[in-house]
Amino acid sequence: MKVIILMIASVSFLYGCAAVSFAPSSEGYNASIIASPNEIKVFRTEKPSKEYVEIGAINYPGGTDLDELIKVMKKEASKRGGNAIIDLKILSNGAVGTVVRIKK
């Protein structure tokens, strides 16, 4: 998964586009329940205490405003059926992370 995140970050950096990119994981997820962006939890260093399913990697090469980065990442995670973002890394030119669905 880390290789996929690194590849997405590299490609986005080369093309310099500010759109969110998403690479689904091999597990995927059939989004039947969509969380609102405000409900998306963000984990930068720790992991959720409950079991979760990886949905895919997201990358947003959109600048350095932390609030804007997190807002855009949460919106994309919601669209993809996630209810959390783990391993969120803030880079000098954006952010990368992994969209997950925490099981209830």
pLDDT at 27 over 90: no
Number of domains composing the chain = 1
Answer with the residue of higher pLDDT: 84 or 34: 84
Q: Can you give the pLDDT at residue 78?
A: 94
Q: Measured between alpha carbons, how far is 32 from 7 in angstroms, rounded to an integer?
A: 29
In this prediction, what percent of the chain has a pLDDT beyond 70?
76
Whole-number mean pLDDT of the chain?
83
Q: Across residues 39-45, what is the average pLDDT?
A: 95
Domain of residue 77, CATH code: 3.30.1660
Q: Across residues 74-79, what is the average pLDDT?
A: 94
User: What is the value of pTM for the model shown?
Assistant: 0.78
- Give me the domain span that covers residue 61: 2-102
Answer with the residue of higher pLDDT: 19 or 8: 19
Q: Can you give the pLDDT at residue 6?
A: 53
Q: How far is CA 21 from CA 2, 51, 100, in A?
A: 15, 25, 15
